[in-house]
Amino acid sequence: MKNIAVLVSGGGTNLQALIDAQQNGILKSGKINLVISNNPDAYALERAEKAGIKAVVCSKKDEGSNFEDKLIEILHSEKTDVIVLAGFMCILSEKFTSEFTDRIINVHPSLIPSFCGKGFYGLKVHKAALDYGVKVTGATVHFVNEVPDGGKIIMQKAVEVKDGDTPEILQKRVMEEAEWKILPLSLEKVCSQLK
């Protein structure tokens, strides 16, 4: 069983999808044993505690320039094998990503290489997709490297864009139809293949 840490900043809907997948036996090659939030008010911390998962706050505000060092220290102290960025609103440096090469995964709410990279997160991604007029969007799970949304793709799932969609409506559909399905499957795949 691989030890999984999930890094979060907000509500934790993707974390909940992973917790559910673990309880339903979809995630069987790893176990979520740690949730770290950079935001002390993140509802994701409550989700973790309700599921009996250790929850820790590590914020840039408190740690300053030691933020990534502190994250690395916490992750190593829990013997973390795989890290999931699930709505984690911090760009991580090469120093951090190279410490866990091919062991950090992220879910992005578009079909990479569309609407990705620096500045593309949350509703901004869905607004850009709608402004461009695409008929299909989706989600991508990829490995994380020093380039925002630049790592190798693990899994993608397409989602139809419908007439009358707003960024909020589209965001919800992409989460329900793509993110919450492919994130647990991708995590299981990575855990099962990790030496």
Per-residue model confidence as pLDDT tens digits over 181-192: 999 999 999 999
Query: Any residues with CB less than 8 A from the CB of 70 and at least 6 apart, and which?
Result: 58, 63
Kindly state the tokens that stand for 154. Answer: 């693990």
Number of domains in the chain: 1
pLDDT at 195 over 90: no
Q: Phi-psi region for residue 52, left (φ > 0), alpha (ψ -120 to 50) or beta?
A: left
Cα gap 65→61, rounded to integer Å = 9
Predicted confidence (pLDDT) per residue in 68-101, tens digit: 999 999 999 999 999 999 999 998 999 999 999 9
Predicted confidence (pLDDT) per residue in 131-182, tens digit: 999 999 999 999 999 999 999 999 999 999 999 999 999 999 999 999 999 9
Spot the catalytic one: 76, 108, 126, 142: 108
Beta strands 136-143; 104-108: pairing state: antiparallel
Predicted confidence (pLDDT) per residue in 95-128, tens digit: 999 999 999 999 999 999 999 999 999 999 999 9
Query: Any residues with CB less than 8 A from the CB of 93 and at least 6 apart, and which?
Result: 68, 146
What value does the mean pLDDT take over residues 23-34? 97
Decide if 108 is catalytic. Answer: yes
Kindly state the tokens that stand for 40. Answer: 């002390």
pLDDT at 12 over 90: yes
DSSP 116-177: -STT--THHHHHHHHHHT-SEEEEEEEE--SSTT-SPEEEEEEEE--TT--HHHHHHHHIII
Residue 156's nearest CA partner among 180, 173, 135, 139 is 139
Q: Phi-psi region for residue 102, left (φ > 0), alpha (ψ -120 to 50) or beta?
A: left
142: domain CATH number? Answer: 3.40.50.170
Cα 28–chain centre separation:
18
Q: Which domain holds residue 167?
A: 2-193
Q: What is the mean pLDDT of the chain?
A: 96
Q: Where are the alpha helices (DSSP H) in 7-122?
A: 13-23, 43-50, 60-63, 67-77, 94-99
pTM equals: 0.95
Tell whether the torsion through CA atoms of 111, 115, 118 and 122 is positive or negative. Answer: negative
The pLDDT value recorded for residue 172 is 97
